Amino acid sequence: MAEMTEFPFEISPMFEGERIRKDDLYIELAGPKAHGFELVRAVSMDEIEDEKFTLIGKDISEMEEGSRSDYAMIYKIAGELVESDLEAIVERRNHDFQNYIQGYMHLNQRYDIWVRISKDAIKKGLNSFEQIAKATMMLFKNELPFIEKIEAVYITDSEEVQKQLNETMTIYEARDQRTRDLHDEDVDVFYGCTLCQSFAPTNVCVISPDRVSLCGAINWFDGRAAAKVDPEGPQFAIEKGECIDKIGGEYTGVNEKAVKLSGGEYDRIKLHSFFEYPHTSCCTHDTEIIVNREVVKIGDLVDSELNKERIKGNILSLREGKAVNEEYFLVQKLEAPEKLIKISTKSGLSITLTPDHKIPVDRIDGLKWIETEKLMVGDRILALKNLKIKGKVPYIIDFLPEDAHIIDNCIRDELKNKLKEKYRSLKKAYNALNLKQSQFYCTLSIETIKICCNDLNMSWNEVKKRFNKFSLRSIVEVNNPKITTDLMYIAGLIASDGAITKRGKYQYTITFVNTNKKLISAYEIYKKIFPERNLSIDLKDSVDSLIEGRPINYTGRSLHSLATDCYACSTSNPIFGLLLENLGIKVGENGDWNLHRLLSLSDELIASFIRGYFDGDGSVRLRVNKNWNEKWKSGEIYLAISDEKSAGHLQLLLK
């Protein structure tokens, strides 16, 4: 056992999970904006000088506060029981032991390590990497008694880190190569790992020949070696038990262990299923996920949450084969491997995966889980058929800015009376709430009403249901304060064959152009929704009617002729324009489509939008397959949109 040494920091498992935020940061090592790695090598006893430390590059005392540096940690270990199979296991424990050090945060593994040292640790006397290395080596020898000798080399010189990293990558690859010819059905025992539970308490990590650990650092051989030399350690054997689902990778032994490891959070796990009882996985930066009922790129979510003290939100996940919203509380950012494979489907959707990631494929001989790099053009991959999200029916006011005004004398008088009753006079009330008397003369802004409701303990969610007349540069009255199916149908028509232009902050002009007179008649639903807004309908008889620069139904016979009459409806409406923009419909030539925002709406509202979109720019085609009898036809339905990302979002809405 290594001797206890005095260190300028406390060492205890209680510091696992400690986060060092930006304001507390002294220096950052490796991580997403620098290079780094950690490596353990098994050598013979005579190749090591026990507990020797070597530093190549600057020490902590030579680094400036707030700086960032490349960082590598290399350990040599020796002992009678030490073998090369243990390298990855000991390497992974570096994460475990270094997080025992107060004021030192270690994340991830292999070439993804990310280390931060706090200002407080520096104040207490941490000034050298040797102190960190000595403490880590002491923990290795105390906790892993099969290590009889250990030596450490730390590197902060960028050129040397890069040189060593290139050599280290070949070592990682050689480790991973060992398991590629061994499969789940060839063994009776899998292995579990609990190292990540210091950050994710209910995490369940099962390691099989066909699935490495979630961190990517431990394969089946590593797990076997670790469980052999340290049966009470964080890696342990899991009896497979009876096979329930060979394709999905579900076993009775794994399920029983999942209950214990997750504290009852999970009772079923399919090792190779992405859709039903899935095992935890990582995604690439541009993978779209549904968070708080909105589609976002996972990379954008991680970047926005990474340095926050506390994170909280709801992410759409799969539980028992059903889509459910679950709370997330931790995000991590790892460096992608050198090789990634992008899969594109006939429907236009795509996903980027690591080469060894397995996905379900419908082959002639049945459902197969195939590694991405072994897929063939023409393979039929499985996808979620129905996406069930509990949507909502919002109010128009939910989409309006705080400076929009409400025209409602009743609410104005009610608030004034209640404020006077509480504060004895309106002057005292205005002073207490930092409001002005002029704000109550005629109309009230949404911001003012919210301030008053909060002070008077009135529910804003109830009060807002009363408003149907708004002022935003001009007065707009609606027949229903809720978002209705009629309104969403009109929104679909505009998204497909219309245009929205915006001048200034809130001046919107909405136009719908089509050759189908019935659709123009349907568009008069608009008058029922906004009874006091003017709506012009014009018959266009020249090529001047354009959508994104192209003539409507131009036949080529004449530069100034149309195949049929073309109708154009136009209205100016700041409330409707804001609503359409906030729903994700493109505004102006340089605007963006964000149709994923519609996912938060109820199924009925989404269906009405799709109906309007199809009526405006959809089509149905009957196709005869040349190998079939002519009476057998297949029907195809098309929705057209110029933006590829939004085409994918339309598909998502259809689910």
Q: Are residues 146 and 269 in the same domain?
A: no
pLDDT of residue 264: 73
The CATH number assigned to the domain holding 267 equals: 3.40.970.20
Q: Are residues 418 and 560 in the same domain?
A: no
Q: How far is CA 425 from the centre of its chain?
A: 50
For residue 560, name the pLDDT band (cuts at 50, 70, 90).
very low
Task: Pick 437 or 523 by higher pLDDT.
Answer: 437
- Find the range with the poorest average confidence among 119-133, 386-400, 630-644: 630-644
585 in any annotated domain: yes
pLDDT of residue 89: 81
Structurally, the chain folds into a number of domains equal to: 5
397 in any annotated domain: no
475 in any annotated domain: no
pLDDT of residue 549: 47
Q: Are residues 34 and 173 in the same domain?
A: yes
Q: pLDDT tens digit string along 269-317?
A: 887 765 566 665 555 666 777 776 667 777 777 777 766 656 667 766 6
Q: Are residues 278 and 199 in the same domain?
A: yes
Q: Are residues 504 and 642 in the same domain?
A: yes
- Find the range with the poorest average confidence among 124-138, 239-253, 344-358, 522-536: 344-358
87 in any annotated domain: yes
Q: Are residues 245 and 218 in the same domain?
A: yes
Domain boundary among 146, 177, 208: 177
Mean pLDDT to the nearest integer, 121-130: 94
CB 382 within 8 A of CB 364: no
The CATH number assigned to the domain holding 598 equals: 3.10.28.10
Q: Are residues 199 and 331 in the same domain?
A: yes
402 in any annotated domain: no
Residue 553 has pLDDT above 50, yes or no: no
Mean pLDDT to the nearest integer, 7-27: 85
CB 653 within 8 A of CB 610: yes
CA 18/CA 25 separation, integer angstroms: 13
CB 105 within 8 A of CB 180: no
> What mean pLDDT, rounded, does the chain reach?
80
Domain boundary among 153, 177, 201: 177
Classify residue 31 by burial, with Cβ atoms within 10 Å: 0-12, 13-18, 19+: buried
CA 576/CA 473 separation, integer angstroms: 13
Contacts of 602 (CB under 8 A, 6+ apart): 391, 392, 393
Judging by DSSP bridges, how do beta strands 149-155 and 53-56 pair with one another?
A: parallel
> Which residue from 393, 583, 614 is spatially nearest to 485, judged by alpha carbons?
393
8 in any annotated domain: no
Locate tokens 């000991």: which residue?
A: 90
Q: Are residues 144 and 194 in the same domain?
A: no
Q: pLDDT tens digit string along 334-386?
A: 566 667 788 877 766 677 777 767 777 777 666 677 777 888 887 887 766 66
Q: Residue 225: what residue type?
A: A
Separation of first and last alpha carbons in the chain: 61
- What percent of the chain has pLDDT above 90? 23
329 in any annotated domain: yes
Q: Are residues 196 and 155 in the same domain?
A: no
Cβ atoms within 10 Å, residue 497: 22
Q: Are residues 143 and 276 in the same domain?
A: no
pLDDT of residue 278: 66
CA 198/CA 56 separation, integer angstroms: 31
For residue 558, name the pLDDT band (cuts at 50, 70, 90).
very low
CB 213 within 8 A of CB 207: yes
Classify residue 481 by its DSSP letter: S
pLDDT of residue 3: 47
CA 267/CA 255 separation, integer angstroms: 6
- What percent of the chain has pLDDT above 70? 80
Cβ atoms within 10 Å, residue 64: 9
Domain boundaries, position 424: 409-466
Cβ atoms within 10 Å, residue 467: 21
502 in any annotated domain: yes
Domain boundary among 177, 210, 243: 177
Q: Are residues 193 and 173 in the same domain?
A: no
Q: Are residues 21 and 138 in the same domain?
A: yes
